[in-house]
Chain A
Amino acid sequence: MSNTAWETLSDQAIGVCGIFYFLALLAHLVEWSSLRGTVPVDAAASLTSAASSSSRTREQAGSVAIATGPDQGVGTEQKRQRVALFGRLGLLLTIIAVVIHLVALVGRGMAADPNRVPWGNMYEFTISGTFVVTLMYLVLYRRFALAWMAPIVVAFVVSVLMVAVIWLHSEVTPLTEALNSYWLVIHVVSAVIATGAFTLGGMTSAMWLVKNRTGERATGPLARVPSLAVLDRVSYRIHAFGFPVWTFAVLITGPIWAHEAWSSYWSWDPKEVWAFITWVVYAAYLHARSTAGWKGKNAAILALVGLATLWFNFIGINFFSTTSQHSYAEGAPAIVQPLGQR
């Protein structure tokens, strides 16, 4: 296949996977709209497995255990089946979408001459990042019972992909000389993975804040969201995974590469500054979780602040900072470093 054919394939695959994500979103919306009038899972404990020897059954964090109100009578069973059906349909569509998404990434890499990893510019970083978000959501789906997150993840991914295609799309170009290094693979892949993890963690923390506001006894779709304790723990686990990966990306591989390419392993480049800020905020989040007075709400807010700095670093610095050597947005200068720069 020629490079142009690969590129066309990639562009088309992005479109198709976007459609599948959108269909998945519709399925999840149908699923969730059927949940009006639902009461919290705890209130119908009989539905949860009572067989466990543990006195505290493992929370059915948003999994298939859907409790319905006592006043619903006949339609209940039918409704439960509909919810489960559309939930499974949404998941299936997401899986199909993520496979096509992968095809798009591979096509993007194959379209370049020489072939390379598909994260050389903002468009490619965005499509790789959204891929990681979906993939991680699917991998953790069972382990952390993330069914409640489905509409949020899918809506997020489909909107970000739209932004990527409309505003960020650029044709495949060879890498600028400074990017042409195997560190591109290691440094950026870890940054993408950490970004994906922090994004999922942020969604969980945001949901914690919503649930905290409405209270544990919320009815309707929110009843299906796991309890505050579970949300907090899931959020912590995801962040605890993302944080070391982020450390590896920005404080180990980043400096090593910077030293090779720009002669200084840490030069307070705006991108480095913001990566450091993100690191510090997430460090604060991890500390806050075990500090009296900061647990819960403040910790969740910190997680969202961290996410905001992360995204600002990605979007803001690329577009607004002219000093950053990391500006790989459209029209980045070809010369490695202007002479005036020391």
Chain B
Amino acid sequence: MSTTPPGAGHDPRPTGGELNPRELGRWLWRQLTSMRTALILLLVLALAAVPGSVIPQEGVDSLKTSRWQADHPTLTPIYEKLSLFSVYDSPWFSAIYILLMVSLVGCIIPRTFIYLRAIRTPPPAAPRNLTRLPDHASYDSDEGVEDVLQRAREVLKARGYRLRPAEDGSDSVSAERGYLREVGNLVFHLSVVVVLVGFALGGLFGFRGGAVITQGSTFANTISQYDDFEPGALFSAEQMDPFVFSFDSFDVEWQRTNRGVLARAFNARLTYAQQPGAAEEKYDLRVNHPLSIGDTDVFLIGHGYAPVITVTDGEGNEVYSGPTPFLPQDQSFLSFGVVKSPDAQPGQIGLEGLLYPTFELVGGNPLTIYPDDLNPLLSLSVFTGDLGLDVPSSQSVYVLDKSNATQVLNDEGKPLRLDLSIGETIELPDGLGTVTFDSVEPWTRIQFSQTPGKEIALIGVVLALIGMCGSLFIRPRRVWVRAREESGDESPHGSSVTMVEVAALDRSGGGDVAPVLEEIVNELRAARTRVEEKQ
């Protein structure tokens, strides 16, 4: 960043004297739109993107972020001030790319005008001394000057060169090609802006949300049904498509591999309707095969088990019943979950524990030996007292607030463990009630999103690629051919000789024009031999 220090505006210019605001503004604009600044901004952008990949990001993995924040109490406030938990929305990150965009536009617009002027200008006249150019060649010909020049025009035209209109008395031909390179360059840079617009539209007007849905349940697309919901800043609830679907069944294939048993080909069979009452359609929702309803895309993201648990309290009332999604802890699908029944009498009942899909005691250790639910076993601890549910703050359904609760103990005074197989009921001590493990239902995590502008972004990035290829692979070059008559003292027949000079100039900075020059010279000379043969 050293090349354009922010204070540099106060430096006197070489001409001396103070800059007035207008001059200063102009100077700053010129600095900002210079290639050097763009280059530095690019590098700063790359550097600024790094922290977001190291520090957990709110928008990427909120759970991990909150855990990290809990582990680093001193750093968290500092990081929060620097927006390091949401780097890519932070003011400083935005500042960099907005500056880069301004620099880009400020560079591209003048270049467009320059280009428009350039395509209306014929190729420049030949320099006085072609042999000064790094790539040049010369040969003698016994044809007349005009014949040579005419041939040069034909050869260059056939090779796609644009010629400078012939002038009277001119001894040279000027030709240029590769005008599309700059077009590609301009298209590329403008497309970057298009991509950013598409990206911004998605961020502002889109939303992302998810819900855990158990097999057999139905879902109506309203925000209240979502477990989490992240709207863009300008999202309005009217954008929600009014579709409904039911989650009929879940199929999964388990495949034993050397990396453990993996779930393959899992598939949530849905019956959906565009709106309540509309015609119903079926769809097998799978990973990589999202369902589009209206503007909303529906994705299958994950799956797990929801044991159906029934809790009755000490007075015999059923205070909790239903499938309870448990979270898989790893690929063995050993799952963790929580049951809260605050209405239970005489005391609230909280359950917390693990589900073993295929339980087996291996050497005295409880293990799940297969991720399919072949022999499910629930192993729960019991809590009673205040579960913190009277406070209207939102509490995660996957966490039990044990700060004011007491763990229920067994007869020996040790923490009570309920080990339940399907169909089993266990009575809780102290007349708290009973817990029944009825069955296991699969759940799926379904993600919903609207991404307006994604087509714009896609078109932009495809155009950018096309433009980029143009700007990288089209080679603009100029070729000059000059023919001069030389008094022929050295020539064998005493007749006059035409000295032909050819020069080529690469204007892209990446091309090697020597072979091109060689080809052109060969063609010019070959054309001559052909003519001779004809005669």
A173 and B42 contact, CB distance less than 8 A: no
Q: Among residues 246 to 285 in chain A, which have CB atoms less than 8 Å away from a CB atom of chain B?
A: 247-248, 251-252, 255-257, 259-270, 273-274, 276-277, 280-281, 283-284
**Could you tell me how many residues of chain A have their Cβ less than 8 Å away from some Cβ of chain B?**
76
Nearest-neighbour CB distance to chain A for B91, whole angstroms, equals 16
B64 and A339 contact, CB distance less than 8 A: no
The answer to whether A331 and B42 touch (CB under 8 A), given A262-B299, A323-B61, is: no
User: Is the CB of B427 closer than 8 A to any CB of chain A?
Assistant: no
A291 and B445 contact, CB distance less than 8 A: no
User: Is the CB of A166 closer than 8 A to any CB of chain B?
Assistant: no
A243 and B472 contact, CB distance less than 8 A: yes
Name the contact of B210 in the complex, choosing from A180, A233, A287, A342 (C-beta under 8 A): A342
User: Is the CB of A58 closer than 8 A to any CB of chain B?
Assistant: yes
**Best-surrounded residue of A281, A294, A338 (most CB of chain B within 10 A):** A338
Nearest-neighbour CB distance to chain A for B194, whole angstroms, equals 13
Q: Among residues 206 to 244 in chain B, which have CB atoms less than 8 Å away from a CB atom of chain A?
A: 208, 210, 212, 228, 230
Q: Among residues 314 to 342 in chain A, which have CB atoms less than 8 Å away from a CB atom of chain B?
A: 317, 321-323, 330-331, 333-342
User: Is the CB of B412 closer than 8 A to any CB of chain A?
Assistant: no
Partner-binding segment picked from B18-26, B157-165, B323-331: B323-331
A residues less than 8 Å from B457 (CB atoms): 255, 265
Q: Nearest CB to that of A341 among chain B residues?
A: B61
Binary CB contact string for chain B from 1 to 38 against chain A (1 if under 8 A, 0 otherwise): 00100000000000000000000000000000001101
User: Is the CB of A56 closer than 8 A to any CB of chain B?
Assistant: yes
User: Is the CB of A214 closer than 8 A to any CB of chain B?
Assistant: no
Q: Nearest CB to that of A278 among chain B residues?
A: B46
The answer to whether A294 and B262 touch (CB under 8 A), given A180-B288, A252-B461, A264-B208, is: no
Q: Among residues 430 to 460 in chain B, which have CB atoms less than 8 Å away from a CB atom of chain A?
A: 445, 447-449, 451, 454, 457-458
Q: Nearest CB to that of A333 among chain B residues?
A: B331
B52 and A281 contact, CB distance less than 8 A: no
Q: Among residues 377 to 433 in chain B, which have CB atoms less than 8 Å away from a CB atom of chain A?
A: 398
A174 to B451, CA, bound (A): 32
User: Is the CB of A164 closer than 8 A to any CB of chain B?
Assistant: no
B297 and A263 contact, CB distance less than 8 A: yes
Nearest-neighbour CB distance to chain B for A13, whole angstroms, equals 20
A274 to B46, CA, bound (A): 9
**Could you tell me how many residues of chain B have their Cβ less than 8 Å away from some Cβ of chain A?**
92
A269 and B60 contact, CB distance less than 8 A: yes
A334 and B327 contact, CB distance less than 8 A: no
B258 and A181 contact, CB distance less than 8 A: no
Q: Nearest CB to that of B465 among chain A residues?
A: A247
Binary CB contact string for chain B from 290 to 330 against chain A (1 if under 8 A, 0 otherwise): 10000001011111100000000000000000000101101
A318 to B382, CA, bound (A): 40
Nearest-neighbour CB distance to chain B for A116, whole angstroms, equals 13
A340 and B208 contact, CB distance less than 8 A: no
The answer to whether A252 and B60 touch (CB under 8 A), given A283-B42, A293-B36, is: no
Q: Nearest CB to that of B135 among chain A residues?
A: A56
A-B contact pairs, 12 of them (CB 8 A): A55-B137, A170-B259, A174-B262, A243-B472, A247-B465, A259-B451, A260-B289, A274-B53, A284-B39, A287-B38, A334-B263, A339-B327
Q: Supply 19 further A-B pairs (C-beta < 8 A) apart from A174-B255, A280-B43, A292-B36.
A: A178-B287, A244-B465, A260-B289, A260-B290, A261-B288, A264-B451, A267-B60, A274-B53, A281-B42, A281-B46, A288-B39, A321-B53, A322-B64, A323-B56, A331-B259, A334-B262, A336-B301, A337-B301, A341-B63
Residue positions of B touching A, CB distance < 8 A: 3, 35-36, 38-39, 42-43, 45-46, 49-50, 52-53, 56-57, 59-64, 87-88, 131, 134-137, 139, 199, 202, 208, 210, 212, 228, 230, 255, 257-260, 262-266, 286-290, 297, 299-304, 325, 327-328, 330-331, 333, 371, 398, 445, 447-449, 451, 454, 457-458, 461-462, 464-465, 468-469, 472-473, 509-512, 514-515, 517-518, 521-522
Residue positions of A touching B, CB distance < 8 A: 52-58, 170-171, 173-174, 176-178, 180-181, 183, 233, 236-237, 240, 243-244, 247-248, 251-252, 255-257, 259-270, 273-274, 276-277, 280-281, 283-284, 286-294, 309, 317, 321-323, 330-331, 333-342
Q: 5 closest pairs, A vs B, by CB?
A: A340-B63, A334-B331, A270-B53, A263-B299, A273-B53
